Structure formats: structure tokens, C-alpha cells
Amino acid sequence: MTVARPARARKDSAPPKSGKKTRATGGNASAGAPSGRGVTGHRTGLLESMLRIRRFEERCVELYSAARIRGFVHLYIGEEAVAVGVNEALTPEDAVVSTYREHGHALARGITAEAVMAEMYGRTTGCSGGRGGSMHLFDVSRRFYGGNAIVAGGLPLAAGLALADHMRGQPNVTCCFFGDGAFAEGEFHETANLAALWKLPLLMVCENNLYAMGTALERHEAQTDLAMRAASYGMVAWAVDGMDVEAVEHAARRAVEGIRNGTGPHFLELRTYRFRAHSMYDPDRYRHKAEVERWKERDPISLLTDRMRENGELGDKQLARIEQRITDEIDHAVEAAERAPEEPVEHLLHHVTSSSAEAVS
Ligand SMILES: Cc1ncc(C[n+]2csc(CCOP(=O)(O)OP(=O)(O)O)c2C)c(N)n1
Ligand SMILES: [Mg+2]
């Protein structure tokens, strides 16, 4: 098994410099157009997906402040390139397991803004029937197996899904998103070991945003080079600039190709940053404003927009049209959620137990 030498970890929490990307793939994602839409069309699609996530969550902030949605809400703003870039490498038959910060993963996977917004409202039309809320988005029809509130809790589930596909001879990959905080949990290490030992078709996507709630990575991990630690389990692992959607897509395609070729699990450490607090309740006092501002200079949406503008691939009018389309989509999602019913109390015991294996087919 090839074990790629991962990039060295940064010593501070400065963002990777523009033009000095940690892209480990050596290739140029823009040289190909994997979607068949041409390079410009493909980039426009990436941009639209990232903008959808950003605008959706900005609307969630407004709705939360107006007490239209409640409970825990963890925003993905700043990390959109990860969900969008990785999803590009997956097929509808692949499986996805996510965290509590999963609005972006769900939207990138194609769950509609309407179904996600209804879930935020706790309405029956939500993707989890209104029972999950922000942290438990779920859609078996898209092989999107949650939304998980337990740090690292999705990893053993993902290994199980990958094992099932492996045993059934299905050529599918299971992609599991998790944070840097997962390295402090036994479930991460148990999953990494078993997946490598059994050569499971598992893509481990670590969103290293440098903080686990208010704790900086270097305050809880002695070795902060996460890709190197993953490689120590005997799997291919490398670090990628998680703010550059094309670098993410390129790396994810390479990893997925390796997995489908039977070389076992692959690990990607995506170096990214959340621009907002950990959750709506977090006063965000553990990091300097200057650090946040430095990372915002590498906003994944601006990075792609600037690249497209420089190449003459995007003009003001086209961007305005995309923004309008997304605004309309989200307006519609909010209106529909406002009108949708809550589950009647008589249904309280529905779906509590399952009489068949229908849930995982
Ligand atoms: C097993 C477990 N321990 C503690 C918590 C409380 N908790 C919720 S989020 C979080 C931080 C996780 O950070 P990370 O994995 O880096 O993900 P991020 O929030 O940065 O996306 C913690 C400790 C939890 N949900 N589950
Ligand atoms: Mg984190």
C-alpha cells in the first residue's frame, strides 16, 4: 500500500498563502471539466453550490434571531469549499456520513433548500420529517446518513456502511466528514485502524478548522500534523488547501479513484476555517479577530469568484443572476416551511422502532 508523505502541519493558525497552495495532487483541477459542462460551466456550478450554502445559512441566522428556528445551530460559513469540492467526486450511489455542522454537506449532496429549511423549522416536510432539526439532517434516498451530534460518532457508522458495500460487492465509496476534534476520540482511531486493516472503501474527510469548540488544536493534540497521523495507520493520507474548491475537488477525485481501485481507505486533511462562532450560543472569545480576518482574506467564494473574473469567466450580471436565483430558492424554502405542518402528537411513537431492514438499503 502506498502511504503518501503528508504535508507538514502549519506551526501557527495562519491561513495558507494564496499562490502557495498546499494542493498535494500536483495537477490543475481547472484543466479538466469532470462534469462535462466545460471548465467555465463546471466552475459556475461550484460557485453556485457554495453560494447556496452561504446564503442559506445567512438566512438561518436571521430566522434564528427572529426565533423562527430554535435549538442548536452550527454554521459552516467559511468551509463551503470542502463540502462542495468533495461532493463533486462522489456519485449518487456513494454514501455520506456527516457531523452536526452539516447544512453544507446536505445541500451539496442535493437535498433541497426546501427540505433542509423545513427540517430547521421542525416541520413534517423536512428531510428528517421534522424530528431531527439542524444536527440530524437525513435522506436515505440520497444515501445521506446524517447529521450526528457526537464528535467522531459518524466514523464507526461510516465504516459499517463501507463494510456493507464491500461485502455486497458494490463499487461504492462511503465518505465521512468529521472535525479535527475527532482526533481526541477513540472512535477515530478504532475506525482508522479497522478500515485500513480491512481495506474498506472509506473516504475520511477531516475538516481541520483548527478549533474544537473553544479549544485550539495545539492545546489538545501533541502532534498537529493530522494527515501524518492518519498515514501512520497504513492509509493514503494528505493535506489540502480547504479554501480552494478546485484543489479540494481534485484531491477528492484522486482519493476516490484510489479507493475504487481497491487500495483501501484514504484520508484528506482539509485545512479550513469557520468564519462564525462554534454555534449560535458561542461568544467566540478564544481567538483573535485579526486571525479571523486573515482567514476571511481567503474566503473560498471570493477565491473562486476572483479566479473566474480574472479568466473572463464571470461578469457582474451573471453573478447577480446566480444570486437572484438562490435568493428566490431560499425565499421559497422559508415560505414553504412557514406554511408546513408540525407532526401531530399522535405520531409520537412512529419510527421509534423498525420492523425491517428498510432503513439501510
Ligand atoms: C463525544 C463528544 N464529546 C464532546 C462533545 C461536545 N462537543 C460538541 S462539538 C465539539 C467540538 C468538535 O470540534 P471538531 O471536531 O473540530 O468540529 P468543528 O465543530 O470544529 O466542526 C465538542 C467537544 C460531543 N458532542 N461529543
Ligand atoms: Mg474543528
Query: Binning pLDDT at 50, 70 and 90, where does residue 351 land?
Result: confident
Q: What percent of the chain has pLDDT over 70?
A: 88
**Percentage of the chain lying above the pLDDT 90 cut:** 85
Nearest to 135 by CA among 125, 120, 124: 120
Average pLDDT, integer, range 129-149 = 97
Residue 111 CA to ligand 1 center (angstroms) comes to 24
Tell which residue, 209, 227, 223, has the closest CA to residue 286: 209
| Separate counts of helices (H) and strands (E) for the chain | 12, 7
Residue minimizing CA distance to atom 6 of ligand 1: 151
Mean pLDDT in the chain? 91
Report the separation in Å between the CA atom of 101 and the middle of ligand 1, taken as the mean of its atom positions. Answer: 10
179 lines ligand 1 (CB under 6 A): yes
Whether 354 is covered by a domain: the verdict is no
Confidence at 353, pLDDT banded by 50, 70, 90: confident
Ligand 1 within 6 A of 212 CB? Answer: yes
**pLDDT at 283 (0 to 100):** 94
Q: Which residues of 311-339 are buried (b: 16+ CB within 10 A; e: fewer)?
A: eebbeeeebeebeeebeebbeebbebbee
Cell numbers at 79, concatenated: 468551509
In this predicted model, what pLDDT tens digit does every residue of 87-111 receive, in sequence order?
Answer: 999 999 999 999 999 999 999 999 9
Say if 236 falls within a structural domain. Answer: yes
Query: Which comes out higher in pLDDT, residue 204 or 23?
Result: 204
Nearest by Cα to 111 from 96, 121, 99, 100: 96
Q: Is 213 in the pocket of ligand 1 (CB under 6 A)?
A: yes
| One-letter amino acid of 103 | H
Mutate to test the pocket of ligand 1, among 57, 210, 213 (most ligand atoms within 8 A of CB): 213
pLDDT of 17 over the 90 cut = no
User: Per-residue pLDDT for 181 more than 80?
Assistant: yes
Identity (one letter) of the amino acid at 353? T
Bridge partners for 125 per DSSP: none
8 Å CB contact between 106 and 144:
yes
Grid cell, residue 158, equals 461510516
Does the pLDDT at position 24 exceed 90?
A: no
Which of residues 283 and 22 earns the better pLDDT score? 283
**Cβ distance 99 to 178 under 8 Å?**
yes
* Amino acid at position 356, single letter: S
Instruction: State the pLDDT at residue 352.
Output: 86
Q: Ligand 1 within 6 A of 216 CB?
A: no
The predicted structure's pLDDT at residue 354:
74
Q: Whose CA is nearest to atom 4 of ligand 1?
A: 151
In the three-class reduction of DSSP (H, G, I as helix; E, B as strand; rest coil), residue 205 is classed as strand
213: CATH: 3.40.50.970
User: Of ligand 1's atoms, which has the minimum distance to the CA of residue 178?
Assistant: 15
35 confidence band (pLDDT: 50, 70, 90): low
Q: Which of 45-54, 75-84, 224-233, 346-355 has the lowest mean pLDDT?
A: 346-355
Residue 227 in this model has a pLDDT that exceeds 50: yes
How far are the Cα atoms of 121, 122, 244, 329, 334 from residue 341, in angstroms, in the given order? 10, 9, 40, 20, 13
Nearest ligand to the CA of 213 is: 1
CB count within 10 Å of CB 359 equals 10
The per-residue DSSP string of 303-352 comes to HHHHHHHHTT---HHHHHHHHHHHHHHHHHHHHHHHHSPPPPGGGTTTTS
Q: How confident is the model at residue 11 (pLDDT cuts 50, 70, 90)?
A: very low
pLDDT at 23 over 70: no
- Mean pLDDT calculated for residue range 58-65: 98
Q: Is residue 100 part of a domain?
A: yes
Position 2 pLDDT exceeds 70:
no
Domain extent for 117:
38-339
Q: Is the CB of 33 inside a 6 Å radius of any atom of ligand 1? A: no
- Specify the pLDDT at position 356: 58
333's grid cell: 424554502
Confidence at residue 14, expressed as pLDDT on a 0 to 100 scale: 52
Inside any domain, residue 32: no
- Cα 213 to its chain centre, rounded Å, is 17
Cell digits of residue 111:
437535498
DSSP for 118-170, written as a single string: HHHTT-TTSTTTTSS-GGG--BGGGTB-----STTTHHHHHHHHHHHHHHHT-
Q: Is 205 in the pocket of ligand 1 (CB under 6 A)?
A: no
- pLDDT grade, residue 33 (50/70/90)? low
Nearest residue by C-alpha to atom 9 in ligand 1: 213
Q: Is the CB of 340 under 6 A from ligand 1?
A: no
pLDDT-based confidence at 348, cuts 50/70/90?
Answer: confident
Number of domains the chain contains: 1
Which amino acid does the sequence have at 36?
G
**Rounded to an integer, what distance in angstroms lies between the CA atom of residue 93 and that of residue 266?**
18
Question: 282-331 pLDDT, tens per residue?
Answer: 999 999 999 999 999 999 999 999 999 999 999 999 999 999 999 999 99
CB atoms within 10 A of CB 8: 12
Find the mean pLDDT for residues 264-276: 98
Q: Is 136 in contact with 144 (CB distance < 8 Å)?
A: no
**6 found inside a domain:** no
pLDDT above 50: residue 20: no
Chain-centroid distance of CA 91 in Å reads 15
**Residue 24: inside a domain:** no
Q: Is 209 in the pocket of ligand 1 (CB under 6 A)?
A: yes
> How large is the angle between the packed helices 154-168 and 186-197, nearest 10 degrees?
20
Q: 353 in a domain, yes or no? A: no
Q: Is residue 124 situated within a structural domain?
A: yes
Among protein residues, the one with the nearest Cα to ligand 1's atom 17 is 179
The per-residue pLDDT for range 120-132, each reduced to its tens digit, is 999 999 999 999 9
Q: Report the half-sphere exposure of 70 (CA within 13 A, side-chain side).
A: 4
101 close to ligand 1 (CB < 6 Angstrom): yes
